[in-house]
Structure 1
Amino acid sequence: MDQDSTPTPPTVYQLAPEQVAGPFFRNPRLLRRNISEGAEGLPLLLRLSIVDAMTGEPVCGALVDIWHCNARGAYSGWSRINPDIEVDAEAIGSIPRTDDDTYLRGSQFSDSKGRVRFTTIYPGFYAGRTLHIHVAVRMVAGRQYLDERNVAWVGQLYFPEVVSRSVLNAKAYRGRAAPVLSNAEDSFYAEMGGEASTLTVWPVGRDSHEDGYFGHLTIGIDTFAVSSQIKPEDFDKYTV
């Protein structure tokens, strides 16, 4: 075989760093692309590519969940928790739910190229944290919820500082009592490999950020892994 006909080996990705799921994880079984439910804020079109870090191949049919706070720092299900007061809790189920809202939560199955797309808003922040989006990847059977407790990977997505500063000047995000942390000041970002989980973000329009943003990241996972961040018993806490 001559040099030109030598097969190109597949790209192998590093394992994306896992991060804590936080106290606001739920399992509302919302299979949908648009998760905004009319929440106020700048639009964010999010695309994630899930790949097998061992082989570089796309992971098809994985169930990808995302959840994040609104422009004011509140999470659905915990909308009455004051986001300007830091909560001393990290574990799933450690903060009692206050409502049955479902905004800014949803899941999608990855396509044949390992991609999922979500229409949402650029998140705000809550006291003690920088801007971020939570993600969980589950390996399921037959695009159903049969094996929904098999979570292979849990992480958080971060944003470039320069973009976030512009976003936080928009009307929906202004007037907060709590100061926003930079990525470097956020202990989870600093200690759990946040730089490797920072989205590539660019504006939808050329002239104004009011049109919103595109965001993308490739996430390398071990498809045979069982995450320690969301355990099977966690699905019995605030399942719906």
Structure 2
Amino acid sequence: MDENAAITAPEPVCLLAPEQIAGPYFRNPRLIRRNISEGASGIPLLLKLSLIDVKNGEPVTDALVDIWHCNARGAYSGWSKIDPDKEVDVGDIGSVPRTDDDTYLRGGQFTDRKGVVRFTTIYPGFYAGRSVHIHVAVRIVSGSNYLDARHVAWVGQLYLPEVTSRPVLGAKDYSGRSIAPLRNDQDELFTRMHGEDSILNVHTIGRDSWEDGFFGQLTIGIDKHAMSAQIKPEDFDIYTV
């Protein structure tokens, strides 16, 4: 072996997470907060997301990560008066008119030096035509005016595993609906957009009962130089409050 031969480290391996549509319930309320529950009823969920740059395997730091999801009864803040037991058009952003200015179960955090964000929320419920999921958007910021950052690099949806969703959706705050929840494999978006790669790793917080809540985590590989087509810059002007 040539002693002068260069020894190189293996290339980092990180898969690009599949993008999914933002749906009609995106808002830009500029809420920088870790606890997004606003007292919403439901089983506690602690969420940890780690962002990795697929180009070099390095953590994506100082990125603004927004999440939003429905409450235990299937309603989204801003659209609280829409019947979650009836299907609506889930195509373009803004395709469903807003009904109110509520902001529960929405918020954003900046990734730390390890590319990590953490949220305190509740386990999502479900609404007609969808399985249980959480929306995520990643904005890459530059300069000092972080809240006006409009370079959206990645938009996705995180899915909850069936083994945890089944008991949760039978709990008091979630039950008594006129429709049945969809499994992930029954959700058209999940199957069409490779949602199996976006299922959260979920564990119970307490040893004795899942009713104490859950901890969910996932590593998301993104191209921070990409420009997502799922949320466009003009979309931020629609619902800014």
Query: Shorter-chain TM-score category?
Result: over 0.9
Match of 2:109, SS?
strand
Give the whole-Å Cα distance in 2 for the aligned partners of 1:53 and 1:193: 18
Who is 1:34 aligned against?
35
Give the whole-Å Cα distance in 2 for the aligned partners of 1:157 and 1:110: 17
Per-residue CA distance 1:110-169 (angstroms, 9 max, x = gap):
000000000000000000000000000000014642652110000000011111001111
Q: Taking structure 1 as reference, are residues 179 and 54 closer, same or farther at Cα in structure 2, changes over 3 Å only?
A: same
Aligned partner of 1:44: which letter? L
Match of 1:171, SS?
coil
2:79–2:98 CA contact under 8 A, matched in 1: yes
Q: Which runs of 5+ in 1 are unaligned?
A: none
Who is 1:93 aligned against?
94
Match of 1:188, SS?
helix
Who is 1:226 aligned against?
227
Does residue 206 (structure 1) correspond to residue 212 (structure 2)? The answer is no
Q: Which of 36-45 and 88-97 deviates more? A: 88-97
Q: How many residues align?
A: 238
Does residue 75 (structure 1) correspond to residue 76 (structure 2)? The answer is yes
Give the whole-Å Cα distance in 2 for the aligned partners of 1:71 and 1:61: 31
Per-residue CA distance 1:36-73 (angstroms, 9 max, x = gap):
00000000000000010111110000000000000000
Who is 2:113 aligned against?
112
Who is 1:215 aligned against?
216
Who is 2:127 aligned against?
126
Give the whole-Å Cα distance in 2 for the aligned partners of 1:211 and 1:10: 41
Match of 1:173, SS?
coil
TM-score (norm: length of structure 2)? 0.95
Aligned partner of 1:129: which letter? R
Match of 1:18, SS?
coil
Give the whole-Å Cα distance in 2 for the aligned partners of 1:146 and 1:28: 10
Per-residue CA distance 1:176-225 (angstroms, 9 max, x = gap):
11211100000010000100000000000111111100000000000110
Who is 2:189 aligned against?
188
Q: Which of 51-60 and 136-145 deviates more? A: 136-145
Match of 1:167, SS?
helix
Match of 2:184, SS?
coil
User: Percent of aligned positions with the same letter in both sequences?
Assistant: 69
Match of 2:56, SS?
coil
Give the whole-Å Cα distance in 2 for the aligned partners of 1:192 and 1:89: 14
Question: How far is 1:12 from its partner?
Answer: 2.1
2:67–2:108 CA contact under 8 A, matched in 1: yes
Aligned partner of 1:14: which letter? L
Give the whole-Å Cα distance in 1 for the aligned partners of 2:91 and 2:64: 24
Q: Taking structure 1 as reference, are residues 111 and 208 closer, same or farther at Cα in structure 2, changes over 3 Å only?
A: same
1:12–1:54 CA contact under 8 A, matched in 2: no
Match of 2:217, SS?
strand
Q: Which of 119-128 and 7-16 deviates more? A: 7-16
Question: How far is 1:11 from its partner?
Answer: 3.0
Q: Taking structure 1 as reference, are residues 235 and 184 closer, same or farther at Cα in structure 2, changes over 3 Å only?
A: same
